[in-house]
Amino acid sequence: MKIGFIGLGNMGAPMAANLAKAAHDVVGYDMATVAVDGVTNAATAAEAAKGADVVITMLPNGEILRAVAAQVIPVMRKGAVLLDCSTVDVNSARAVAADAEAAGLLPLDAPVSGGIGGAAAGTLTFMVGGSDEAYQTALPLLETMGQKSVHCGPSGNGQAAKICNNMILGVTMIATCEAFALADKLGLDRQAMFDVVSTSSGYSWSMNAYCPAPGIGPKSPADNGYTPGFAAELMLKDLRLSQQAADASDADTPLGQAATELYRRFVEKEDGKGRDFSAMLPRFEKRGRG
Ligand code: NAD
């Protein structure tokens, strides 16, 4: 396929490289100067999008997505797919989709989980919103860039699934970390804590697959000095999107709200910026109740 790829950052560059490796014709554009193996550089976003079967965007936020979409939608050929893989607010995803549809395009919102490692290895998971026709057209590309995709319904539902998942992740990571810190204070050995919880009703992905305690459970960023992994500021971004969506839809999310506030303090006021989101454990370790 002929692919335009806009946003060749930490995630976009390896995703575009994997598409080029799979013998697609990939023309890329990024505001910054970047060179990606197998990808031809365009001078503008519109140039990358012109004549493409699928235009993929992998951008920082909804505002930038809206600006880029306004540049590429008018030049895309009718029937082409506009596949946004960024994590953005549900409203921006739906607004871009409506503009794309009005121009005769097939929009999809398809945020990912799996991080930079998953992008490089081609093992991302895509959560996809949009029509069946758009999904079926993009599926071979999703299968090249990832190992799993779930079609979650109409436009915006991919973003909805992503922020609901990550709200659960933020809350369970905090719960896991505060429970470890409590266990420490009660004199409970961390290995015993892991052995019990990981096989009891407190188990979760945060405990079982990404244990925040160094030297315990599977290898995780905790074993590497809390180098991300999944950075605390990216967790904060996703939690903020969850609370923005909760405000807009009048959903009561008290724990999502508390998690957002804790990660905000951690990133903006404490030492969380640039550390993995599981570094909440050393944060709790140092604190008392007051
Ligand atoms: P990044 O900052 O490394 O990459 C974004 C790229 O977009 C940059 O190279 C930037 O120069 C480019 N850009 C910005 N404005 C532009 C414009 N107007 N036109 C063209 N290019 C422009 O970010 P990333 O880590 O690659 O993340 C991209 C998206 O994926 C984000 O929405 C993020 O939330 C999401 N995401 C990231 C991860 C992760 O682990 N990094 C995991 C899942 C989802």
| Closest ligand 1 atom, residue 88 Cα | 32
285: Cα separation from own chain's centroid: 28
Radius of gyration of the chain (CA): 20
Pairing of β 40-41 and β 25-29: parallel
Pairing of β 2-6 and β 54-57: parallel
Ligand 1 pocket mutation, candidates 30, 83, 236, criterion most atoms within 8 A of CB: 30
Has 162 been annotated as catalytic?
yes
Q: Among all chains, which residue has been given the structure tokens 């990939």? A: 26
Answer whether 16 contacts ligand 1 (Cβ < 6 A): no
Answer whether 166 contacts ligand 1 (Cβ < 6 A): no
Answer whether 52 contacts ligand 1 (Cβ < 6 A): no
pLDDT at 290 over 90: no
Q: Among all chains, which residue has been given the structure tokens 């015993």? A: 192
| Cα 6 to middle of ligand 1, angstroms | 10
> For residue 228, how many other CB atoms are within 10 A of its CB?
19
> For residue 72, how many other CB atoms are within 10 A of its CB?
26
Answer whether 182 contacts ligand 1 (Cβ < 6 A): no
Nearest CA to ligand 1 atom 12: 7
Average pLDDT over residues 25-44: 97
Nearest CA to ligand 1 atom 7: 7
Among the options 78, 162, 219, 269, which is catalytic?
Answer: 162
Q: What is the pLDDT of residue 216?
A: 98
CA 27, CA 2: separation in Å to the nearest integer? 8
Cα dist from 165 to 23, 92, 162, 183, 207, whole Å: 33, 19, 5, 27, 16
Ligand 1 pocket mutation, candidates 31, 72, 230, criterion most atoms within 8 A of CB: 31
pLDDT at 40 over 90: yes
pLDDT in tens, 218-270: 999 999 999 999 999 999 999 999 999 999 999 999 999 999 999 999 999 99
* Exposed/middle/buried for residue 69 (C-beta within 10 Å: 0-12, 13-18, 19+): buried
Answer whether 59 contacts ligand 1 (Cβ < 6 A): yes
Q: Please tell me what DSSP assigns to residue 86.
A: S
Helix (H) or strand (E) holding 5: strand 2-6
CA 224, CA 101: separation in Å to the nearest integer? 46
CA 278, CA 223: separation in Å to the nearest integer? 11
Answer whether 57 contacts ligand 1 (Cβ < 6 A): no
Ligand 1 pocket mutation, candidates 34, 58, 61, criterion most atoms within 8 A of CB: 58
* pTM, two decimal places: 0.95
pLDDT in tens, 66-97: 999 999 999 999 999 999 999 999 999 999 99
Answer whether 22 contacts ligand 1 (Cβ < 6 A): no
pLDDT in tens, 123-135: 999 999 999 999 9
Average pLDDT over residues 274-289: 97
| Cα 254 to middle of ligand 1, angstroms | 29
